Amino acid sequence: MEADLIELDGVEKVFDVRKKTGFLRRAKHEVRAVDGISFTVSRGEMVGYIGPNGAGKSTTIKMLTGILTPSGGRLRVAGIDPSPSSRLRSSRGGPTRERTRLAQRIGVVFGQRTTLWWDLPLIDSYRLMHRMYRIPDARYKENLDRCVELLELDALLDVPVRQLSLGQRMRGDIAAALLHDPEVLYLDEPTIGLDVISKAKVREFLRDLNAESGTTVLLTTHDLTDIEQLCKRVMVIDHGRLMYDGALAGLHEVGESERTLVVDLERELLPIEVDGARVVKVEGPRQWLAFPAAESAAPLVARIAAEYPLADLSVREPDIEAVIAKMYAEKVTS
């Protein structure tokens, strides 16, 4: 058994792009979407892979699934090189066998695309996957029943996919990706556009899946709450390069990010004065206080509640793109 299910060593992806420079004239230039990335993911890990739009996250996932071929470097998933060119060179049964071996060991969910058949009832998509992956009947039934129960899909099985809401369809896609018991699950923006309840259901399911089955998960998302509730480790990519690999708290420390405590007082008062935070905005009885994201909000809340007439409060997470932009700027100037 492999200790590391995902391995990347100096992986690059370069696209040739033609840009119009004049009448009937175009110049070709290179866009380096992924620039020499190296990392490993161990069996059973849940890792957040985050960064701003265009950073190279989805390109990395597509190379790991075999949709795209790397321009350079080396990568392996569950002991298999997933790139299409490697499958064509394979001496162990040719491209079909390698593609089948890889497909049996990975599951993929793209938040803005679906793997389900649009005009068919949800259950028909699952039956087709049952045959496509050649899942043993008993295993298929067990996995389907478990996904239907935990993702609350029972009332949706006979509904055509095109009639499902985004949250319902996303839960359906996650179930479809897990019917064949993949060892590695890639989730590309799995909670994008979902309401709070749907997000909570998806997160709870993924936590249970990892705890019970030891499924290795690589998660890309713009929602830091997804990372906080699911992942102990986070990797940050920007401009195709790996900027950070470690704990989320460490990311906040490196980026010196701040969370915001929104305090509603019973009446309008002067700006709150409390150690460990500063007031950044006041509107009537509502005040916004910034404090280090790596610090717990509990002591701050306790001090405010003891000294001020508190009516309500909420905590807002830092903007991940602002954190990454600061990290990148510091790296450029250093």
**Quick one: pLDDT at residue 85?**
59
The residues, any chain, with a CB within 8 Å of residue 44's CB and separated by 6 or more, are 210, 214, 215, 216
pTM: 0.78
320 pLDDT higher than 50: yes
Count CB neighbours of 279 within 10 A: 16
pLDDT digits (tens, 9 = 90+) for 186-220: 998 888 777 888 888 888 989 999 998 899 999 99
Distance, C-alpha 131 to centroid of its chain: 29
Radius of gyration of the chain (CA): 23
Q: Evaluate whether the domain defined by 4-250 bears CATH number 3.90.1520.10.
A: no
> What is residue 23's three-state secondary structure?
coil
**Quick one: pLDDT at residue 1?**
44
Q: How far apart are CA 67 and CA 270, in angstroms?
A: 58
Nearest of 218, 206, 229 to residue 50 by alpha carbon = 218
Q: How far apart are CA 238 and CA 241, in angstroms?
A: 5
Domain chopping of the chain, boundaries? 4-250, 258-317
Burial of 240 (0-12, 13-18, 19+ CB in 10 A): buried
Q: Once rounded to an integer, what is the mean pLDDT over residues 264-269?
A: 95
